[in-house]
């Protein structure tokens, strides 16, 4: 058997070591941890982290709002909700806790309210993509935040489609402040848990609205992804808000 | 894609000649690279120990490359367990064949593609189009150069060499719209047109920035959203990756994302970072039904064999070396005549296209070392250029006149008395060669510079007087 | 002036081929400054070229022969230090007379010994002799061009500036992009004269913006490149090797 795979691996094995020494890997991880801790300046939790997250998310072009509890969210988002003629909601715990579905449906016909679970948004239905694309607003929950860059972490699951945060021109994400970690290396545990334990096929870090500088390095917002990106930080502490085991 | 023209000295001279006097082009490139460099400095100042991060980047990459078969197999196993189909391709032709085969089977009116230097390397888009499969480059910069029927001129900013007016003209001519040079308007037009293709496509093709061995995850970074749209909406996602893209785990991914964004575009993180592990799960509502990963060799195992070239496999394709290179700033990416331009391009092009067909590139540098200084994974690019020069001269690839001159210089310099005599003789000609600016005319030195007139006495002669006095 | 040496330091001169033939006064000025700070200077007239031009152009065999000639001269010559008025030549010996050149075994040993003793001139003064004020006087606005090898291989950045700040009457100004390559690069300046010239244009523009009357540095090769365009354009700026400035005394 001399497939491409066999030939490539054979060529590589002549030039490389075949066994990884665990101690070497651990040494690299320790150095990385130390460098990262040093880079974060010792801050690992609390207001400093949240403040840094806000500032850097704003630098990346996100609109950042703060709510004390999920129930405050509909009020905060009033302007965006009133401007939208069609909204698609994720079904994760945070979005449900915010009561956005009820608020929007309570407004009657003014706004078409959909959920990612609706039949005509499923893959088997014709034109499902176009329905997503014609929505003004997608609202989802995030599972984490990265303070050093102001990015949020969202994940695919039965409660969230990939499209709801991508096709509508405005994306609003709800994030618990207690789910913010200082840095990307510090988010490794969360990412590993989402991918290897929960089996999420698509975990995405989002840092601001879609943008480009491909024309003369002039920054333009809203290329292929959402033009407007809003983060609502929810500051109340909850028992289940621990990385890796929080319910979606 | 037809074989590119060999980048031998004559051809390179032509490429340079077409560009070096184009002040507008040089201005575009200068401004764009300067902006990237300034933004980079601003964000690396977040760290007071950026050097340690660079060292870690080097050490982690070296660890991976030193154990490449181990991590490759680990990645393959994990990706397959997540439901991806892993293919291996020894060279560009094999890779094109695999992708073409999949594309034909999966059908669809159009293929959407996100920016990938690896797919440029193998000439994928041209091959698909030649086979009658409509393939649309969706990254704005790539979309622009695709319309212009040009290759990209920079690793992360494909249309860096074009002004807004040129892009406006291009859109007006090729898309039949009213002329505008406003970046916002041009972007909105691209968004509108490409959206149709995103929604219609059944196959999406992407590259890979990092492949995580522990989980079989593909990490792809972008700012526009076209990667998410190309990889998330169509039923089939095909990812093409060079086999050196591996990282061991999520922790190292964190480090490398920090190195990449800051070095490439002066961002703390790109707008979107997609971590893709296999196709859609049964309980997920959307996402591709199939994910195919094409792992490419195409000369990389050859680079492993060479103890020096091995380091070039660490490259994370950030483009910082191009931004800082004064040669790149003078001639632009197209001036190199290769898919991979700038400093890193000069050292890996001879691997992909062959030494004989890339002869000019390692010599197109003043060896200033700014590239090595800025590289986030500490590749000693300028030293690699020296090794290539040695290799090329050693295998007979040098002009005869130059070889002769070097031999003569050696013969003279090994004999001190002869060296002094040669100097004295050369000085006799000085009065004949005087130019009007206090120097002498030396044709190879060119008219834009005066060459210093040799003084009457050499240092050795002056020293003799000095010795006698003391 | 402050020395940490009680005894006289013996320095052997390393005069690059370019300096010997085209800028001999710079070599002599370095000698004057070294003697002024109390160094005993000797010069072996058998030296010619360290092999850098051949090495940079890929001619390692030729370069190796010249390196061996160099090592035969300097190894065991009894001097504590070998000082050169050139960052690029000092780099050739200290950085590249190693694995890259594949010297035969006995020459590898010589190289090991010799490399440790080689210093670029300003680094020798500041880092070894701990001298900052060499008693110079030179009234002019001066800017420093950072030569690539000196900067990136030998980490020479502050030393020239430290020495210039102590020169009476001298006003030190910084040009923008002082660290950007002037475009010389040895044979590059001839093989790719057009790119070399384009790079030089940018450097000259930086110099003009600095408002300096004199541009200096640690490498005559760079200064030769820069001077070439200043002369051709008739600009009111001149180039001087730092040794030439440091040798200047009050009238």
Q: What is the CATH number of the domain that holds A200?
A: 3.40.50.10420
CB contact at 8 A, B160 and B28: yes
Instruction: Give a yes or no: residue A3 inside a domain.
Output: no
Residue showing tokens 């898919």: B339
Work out the minimum CA distance from B360 to partner chain A, whole angstroms.
Answer: 29
Structural domain boundaries in chain B: 19-300, 404-469
Contact B250 A188 (CB under 8 A): yes
Query: Would strands A86-89 and A137-141 be described as parallel, antiparallel, or unpaired?
Result: parallel
Contact C183 B366 (CB under 8 A): yes
Residue of chain B minimizing CA distance to A33? B251
Sign of the Cα pseudo-torsion (C28, C31, C33, C36, in order): negative
Reading the block at residue B48, the tokens are 């007071």
Which residues of chain B are within 8 Å of residue A158 when distances are taken between CB atoms? 283-285
Assigned fold of B19-300:
Rossmann fold (3.40.50)
First-to-last C-alpha distance (Å) of chain B: 73
Integer-rounded Cα Rg, in Å, for chain A is: 21
Predicted confidence pLDDT, tens digits, chain B (470 residues): 346 799 999 999 999 999 999 999 999 999 999 999 999 999 999 998 999 999 999 999 999 999 999 999 999 999 999 999 999 999 999 999 999 999 999 978 899 999 999 999 999 999 999 999 999 999 999 999 999 999 999 988 999 999 999 999 999 999 999 999 999 999 999 999 999 999 999 999 999 999 999 999 999 999 999 999 999 999 999 999 999 999 999 999 999 999 999 999 999 999 999 999 999 999 999 999 999 999 999 999 999 998 889 999 999 999 999 999 999 999 999 999 999 999 999 999 999 889 999 999 999 999 999 999 999 999 999 999 999 999 999 998 888 999 999 999 999 999 999 999 998 888 888 888 888 888 888 877 777 888 898 898 999 999 999 988 87
Interface test with A, best of B79, B136, B228, B309 (most A CBs within 10 A): B228
HEC string of A135-198 equals CCEEEEECCEEECCCCEEEEECECCECCHHHCCCCEEEEEEEHHHEECCCHHHHHHHHHHHHHC
Q: Place A243 in a pLDDT band, splitting at 50, 70 and 90.
A: very low
| Residues paired with C23 in a beta bridge | none
> Nearest by CB to B225, which of A16, A157, A166?
A166
Integer-rounded Cα Rg, in Å, for chain C is: 18
Instruction: Give a yes or no: residue A206 inside a domain.
Output: yes
Contact B370 C148 (CB under 8 A): yes
> Nearest by CB to C231, which of B20, B450, B459?
B450
Which residues of chain B are within 8 Å of residue A193 when distances are taken between CB atoms? none
Instruction: With both helix axes pointing from N to C terminus, report the angle between B164-175 and B140-147 in degrees, rounded to the nearest 10.
Output: 60
Which residues of chain C are within 8 Å of residue B423 when distances are taken between CB atoms? 20-21
Contact C180 B370 (CB under 8 A): yes
**CA A244/CA A217 separation, integer angstroms:** 39
> Nearest by CB to C65, which of B414, B458, B466?
B414
> Nearest by CB to C195, which of B330, B398, B403?
B330
What three-state secondary structure class fits B321?
helix
Q: DSSP letter string over B351-376?
A: HHH-SGGGTTGGGS-----HHHHH-T
**C63-68, long-range: CB < 8 A, 24+ apart:** C63/C101, C64/C101, C64/C102, C64/C103, C65/B410, C65/B414, C66/B410, C66/B413, C66/B414, C67/C97, C67/C101, C67/C103, C67/C107, C67/C111, C68/C103, C68/C104, C68/C107
Which residues of chain C are within 8 Å of residue B455 when distances are taken between CB atoms? 22-25
Alpha carbon separation from B298 to B95, B119, B157, B407 (Å, rounded): 9, 12, 24, 38
CB contact at 8 A, B318 and B156: yes
Q: Find residues 155-174 of chain A whose CB sits inside 8 Å of chain B.
A: 156-158, 160-163, 166
Burial track B329-352 (b if 16+ CB lie within 10 A, e otherwise): bbbbbbbbbbbbbbbbbbbbbbbb
Q: Is B225 in CB contact (< 8 Å) with chain A?
A: yes
Which residues of chain B are within 8 Å of residue C150 when distances are taken between CB atoms? none
Q: Place C6 in a pLDDT band, splitting at 50, 70 and 90.
A: low
What are residue A179's phi and psi, to 5 degrees?
A: -90, 5
**For a pLDDT cut of 90, what percent of chain A falls above it?**
79
Q: Do chains A and B touch (3 or more CB pairs under 8 A)?
A: yes
> Which other chains touch chain B, taking contact as 3+ CB pairs less than 8 Å apart?
A, C
Cβ neighbours for B199, distance < 8 A, ≥ 6 positions apart = A129, A130, A133, B233
Mean pLDDT of A13-28: 90
Interface test with A, best of B66, B140, B187 (most A CBs within 10 A): B187
> Nearest by CB to A218, which of B183, B214, B228?
B183
Work out the minimum CA distance from B126 to partner chain A, whole angstroms.
Answer: 22
Provide the pLDDT for residue A238: 64
Which residues of chain A are within 8 Å of residue B87 when distances are taken between CB atoms? 4
Q: Is B163 in CB contact (< 8 Å) with chain A?
A: yes
Helix segments in B225-369, DSSP class H: 226-232, 250-265, 300-305, 320-324, 326-331, 342-353
Instruction: Give a yes or no: residue A24 inside a domain.
Output: no
CB contact at 8 A, C214 and C143: yes
Reading the block at residue C83, the tokens are 């000082």
Cβ neighbours for A40, distance < 8 A, ≥ 6 positions apart = A147, A148, A182, A183, A186
Lowest mean pLDDT among B421-435, C88-102, C115-129: B421-435
Residue of chain B minimizing CA distance to A11? B301
Asked if the model's pLDDT at residue A132 lies above 60, the reply is yes
Domain count for chain A: 1
Reading the block at residue A146, the tokens are 């990265």
Asked if the model's pLDDT at residue A161 lies above 60, the reply is yes
Provide the pLDDT for residue B447: 77
Cβ neighbours for B44, distance < 8 A, ≥ 6 positions apart = B50, B262
Which residues of chain B are within 8 Å of residue A129 when distances are taken between CB atoms? 199, 233
CB contact at 8 A, B106 and B202: yes
Which residues of chain A are within 8 Å of residue B202 when distances are taken between CB atoms? none
Cβ neighbours for A143, distance < 8 A, ≥ 6 positions apart = A153, A154, A155, A179, A190, A194, A246, A248
Provide the pLDDT for residue B2: 43
**CA B278/CA B287 separation, integer angstroms:** 10
> Which other chains touch chain C, taking contact as 3+ CB pairs less than 8 Å apart?
B
> Nearest by CB to B287, which of A14, A186, A202?
A202
What three-state secondary structure class fits A243?
coil
Q: Is B266 in CB contact (< 8 Å) with chain A?
A: no
Residue of chain C minimizing CA distance to B436? C232
Sign of the Cα pseudo-torsion (B130, B131, B136, B139, in order): negative
**Comparison of pLDDT for B427 and C116, the residue scoring more:** C116
Domains observed in chain C: 9-126 (3.40.50), 133-246 (3.40.50)
Contact B446 C197 (CB under 8 A): yes
Boundaries of domain holding A158:
46-243
Mean pLDDT of A204-211: 97
**CA A66/CA A231 separation, integer angstroms:** 8
Reading the block at residue A72, the tokens are 């405050």
Q: Place A245 in a pLDDT band, splitting at 50, 70 and 90.
A: very low
Q: What is the largest CA-CA distance in chain C?
A: 53
Cβ neighbours for A6, distance < 8 A, ≥ 6 positions apart = none
Which residues of chain C are within 8 Å of residue B372 when distances are taken between CB atoms? 152
Provide the pLDDT for residue A239: 46
Provide the pLDDT for residue B155: 87
Which residues of chain B are within 8 Å of residue A187 when distances are taken between CB atoms? 250, 254
Q: What is the pLDDT of residues B250-260, one digit of tens each?
A: 999 999 999 99
Which residues of chain B are within 8 Å of residue A16 when distances are taken between CB atoms? 65-70, 304
Distance from CA of residue C241 to its chain's centroid? 8
> Nearest by CB to B460, which of C20, C184, C186?
C20
């Amino acid at each position: 058997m001399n497939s491409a795979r066999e030939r490539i691996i054979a060529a590589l094995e002549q030039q490389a070591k075949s066994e990884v020494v665990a101690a070497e890997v651990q040494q690299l991880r320790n150095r990385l941890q130390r460098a990262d801790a040093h880079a974060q300046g010792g801050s690992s939790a609390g207001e400093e982290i949240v403040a840094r997250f806000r500032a850097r998310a704003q630098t990346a072009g996100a609109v950042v709002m703060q709510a004390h509890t999920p129930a405050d969210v509909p009020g905060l988002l009033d302007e965006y909700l009133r401007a939208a003629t069609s909204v698609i909601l994720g079904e994760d715990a945070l979005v449900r806790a915010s009561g956005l579905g009820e608020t929007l449906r309570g407004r009657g016909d003014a706004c078409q309210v959909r959920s990612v679970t609706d039949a005509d948004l499923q893959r088997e239905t014709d034109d499902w993509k176009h329905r997503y694309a014609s929505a003004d607003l997608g609202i989802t929950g995030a599972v984490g935040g990265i303070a050093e860059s102001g990015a949020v972490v969202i994940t695919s699951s039965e409660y969230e489609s990939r499209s709801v945060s991508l096709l509508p021109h405005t994306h609003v994400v709800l994030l618990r402040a207690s789910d913010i970690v200082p840095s990307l290396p510090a988010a490794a545990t969360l990412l590993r848990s989402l991918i290897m334990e929960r089996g999420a096929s698509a975990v995405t870090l989002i840092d601001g609205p879609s943008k480009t500088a491909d024309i003369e390095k002039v920054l333009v917002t809203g290329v292929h992804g959402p033009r407007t990106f809003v983060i609502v930080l929810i500051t109340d502490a909850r028992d289940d808000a621990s990385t890796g085991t929080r319910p979606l | 894609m037809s074989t590119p023209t060999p980048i031998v000295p004559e051809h390179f001279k032509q490429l340079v000649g077409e560009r070096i006097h184009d002040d507008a082009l040089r201005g575009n490139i200068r401004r764009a690279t300067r902006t990237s460099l300034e933004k980079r400095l601003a964000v690396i100042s977040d760290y007071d120990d950026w050097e340690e991060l660079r060292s870690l980047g080097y050490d982690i990459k070296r660890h991976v490359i030193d154990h490449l078969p181990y991590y490759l197999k680990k990645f393959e196993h994990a990706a397959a367990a997540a439901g991806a189909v892993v293919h291996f391709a020894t060279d560009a032709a094999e890779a094109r064949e695999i992708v073409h085969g999949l594309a034909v089977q999966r059908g669809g009116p159009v293929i959407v593609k996100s920016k990938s230097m690896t797919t440029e390397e193998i000439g994928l888009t041209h091959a698909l189009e030649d086979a009658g499969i409509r393939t649309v480059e969706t990254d704005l910069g790539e979309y622009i150069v695709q319309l212009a029927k040009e290759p990209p001129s920079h690793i992360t900013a494909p249309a860096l060499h074009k002004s807004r007016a040129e892009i406006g003209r291009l859109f007006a001519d090729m898309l039949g719209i009213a002329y505008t040079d406003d970046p916002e308007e041009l972007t909105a037009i691209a968004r509108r047109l490409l959206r149709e293709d995103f929604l219609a496509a059944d196959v999406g093709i992407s590259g890979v920035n990092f492949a995580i061995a522990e989980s079989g995850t593909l990490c792809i970074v972008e700012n526009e959203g076209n990667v998410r749209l190309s990889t998330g909406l169509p039923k089939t996602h095909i990812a093409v990756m060079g086999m050196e893209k591996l990282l061991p785990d999520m922790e190292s991914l964190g480090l490398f994302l920090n190195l990449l964004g800051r070095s490439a575009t002066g961002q703390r993180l790109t707008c979107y970072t997609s971590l893709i592990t296999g196709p859609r799960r049964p309980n997920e509502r959307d996402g591709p039904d199939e994910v195919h990963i094409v792992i490419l060799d195409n000369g990389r195992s050859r680079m492993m064999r060479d103890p020096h070239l091995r380091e070039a496999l660490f490259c994370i394709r950030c483009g910082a070396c191009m931004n800082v290179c004064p040669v790149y700033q003078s001639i632009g990416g197209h001036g190199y005549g290769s898919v991979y331009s700038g400093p890193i391009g000069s050292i890996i092009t001879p691997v992909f296209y062959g030494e004989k067909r890339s002869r000019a590139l390692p010599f197109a540098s003043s060896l200033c070392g700014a590239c090595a200084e800025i590289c986030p994974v500490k590749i000693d690019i300028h030293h690699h250029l020296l090794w290539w020069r040695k290799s090329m001269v050693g295998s007979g690839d040098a002009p005869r006149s130059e070889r002769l001159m070097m031999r003569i210089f050696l013969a003279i310099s090994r004999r001190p008395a002869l060296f002094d005599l040669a100097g004295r003789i050369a000085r006799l000609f000085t009065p004949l060669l005087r130019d009007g600016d206090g120097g002498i005319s030396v044709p190879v030195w060119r008219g834009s510079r005066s060459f210093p007139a040799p003084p009457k006495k050499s240092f050795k002669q002056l020293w003799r007087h000095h010795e006698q006095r003391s | 002036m402050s020395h940490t040496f009680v005894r006289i330091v013996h320095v052997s001169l390393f005069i690059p081929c370019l300096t010997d033939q085209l800028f001999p006064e710079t070599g002599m000025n370095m000698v004057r400054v070294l003697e002024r700070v109390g160094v005993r200077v000797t010069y072996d007239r058998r030296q010619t070229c360290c092999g850098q031009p051949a090495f940079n152009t890929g001619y390692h065999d030729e370069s190796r022969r010249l390196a061996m000639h160099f090592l035969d001269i300097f190894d065991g010559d009894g001097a504590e230090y070998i000082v050169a008025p050139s960052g690029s030549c000092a780099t050739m010996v200290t950085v590249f007379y190693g694995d890259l050149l594949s010297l035969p075994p006995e020459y590898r040993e010589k190289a090991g010994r010799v490399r440790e003793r080689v210093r670029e001139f300003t680094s020798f003064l500041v880092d070894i002799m701990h001298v900052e004020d060499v008693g110079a006087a030179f009234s002019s606005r001066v800017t420093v061009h950072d030569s690539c090898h000196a900067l990136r291989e030998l980490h020479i950045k502050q030393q020239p500036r430290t020495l210039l700040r102590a020169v009476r009457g001298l006003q030190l100004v910084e040009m923008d992009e002082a660290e950007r390559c002037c475009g010389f690069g040895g044979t590059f300046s001839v093989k790719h004269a057009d790119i070399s010239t384009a790079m030089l244009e940018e450097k000259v523009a930086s110099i003009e913006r600095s408002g300096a009357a004199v541009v200096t540095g640690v490498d005559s090769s760079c200064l030769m490149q820069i001077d070439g365009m200043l002369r051709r354009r008739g600009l009111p700026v001149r180039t001087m090797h730092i040794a030439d400035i440091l040798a200047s005394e009050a009238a």
